[in-house]
């Protein structure tokens, strides 16, 4: 996917991105909408969604689709992992991955009491490799989503 670039630098897009960057947490679109609206009262939710989608496509931010209802957004486009609290649903970052986590011995991480993890791969299945059709165009090799 050759990144579709924002065509114009609108104030809305700037505000959405800036507010996301300020946050260490990973807000949902609606949460970010509420925050950004403090600065720009006429901002509409549709615009927030459109911009978040666009920014994620361009790799400026990450769209996280952790298990659970809605998408969350992460202002840091670098590869890293996430921990989510099973109680309060909050999401934190994990930057250093223990080498031995595969063995399932992880007890704690980033202060969290670890309960489990989820690991999903992404790729092109054998059938689609044969088809050779290029619908994916080339997903980021680092793409987590």
Partner DNA sequence: GTGTATGCAAAGCCTTTGCAGCATG
Partner DNA sequence: CATGCTGCAAAGGCTTTGCATACAC
CA distance linking residue 63 with residue 71, whole number of Å: 7
128 binding a copy of itself? (CB under 8 A): yes
Among DNA, a copy of itself, none, what does residue 28 contact (CB within 5–8 Å per kind)?
DNA
For the chain, the farthest-separated pair of C-alpha atoms sits apart, in whole angstroms, at 51
Positive or negative, the Cα torsion across 130, 131, 132, 136?
negative
Taking the least distance from each CB to a copy of itself, the nearer of 13 and 84 is 84
CA distance linking residue 49 with residue 46, whole number of Å: 5
53 binding DNA? (CB under 7 A): yes
90 binding DNA? (CB under 7 A): no
Q: In the bound complex, what is the minimum distance in angstroms from residue 55's beta carbon to a copy of itself? A: 17
- List contacts with DNA (CB under 7 A): 6-13, 28-30, 40, 42-47, 49-51, 53, 69-71
């Amino acid at each position: 996917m050759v990144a579709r670039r924002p065509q114009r630098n609108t104030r809305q897009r700037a505000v959405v991105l800036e507010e996301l960057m300020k946050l260490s947490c990973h807000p949902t679109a609606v949460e970010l909408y509420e925050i950004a609206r403090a600065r720009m009262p006429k901002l509409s939710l549709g615009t927030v969604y459109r911009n978040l989608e666009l920014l994620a496509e361009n790799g400026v931010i990450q769209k996280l689709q952790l298990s659970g209802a809605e998408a969350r957004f992460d202002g840091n486009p670098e590869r890293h992992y996430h921990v989510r609290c099973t109680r309060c649903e909050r999401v934190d970052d994990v930057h250093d991955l223990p080498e031995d986590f595969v063995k399932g011995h992880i007890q704690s991480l980033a202060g969290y009491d670890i309960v489990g993890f989820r690991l999903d791969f992404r790729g092109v299945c054998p059938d689609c490799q044969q088809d050779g059709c290029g619908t994916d165009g080339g997903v980021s090799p680092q793409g987590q989503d």
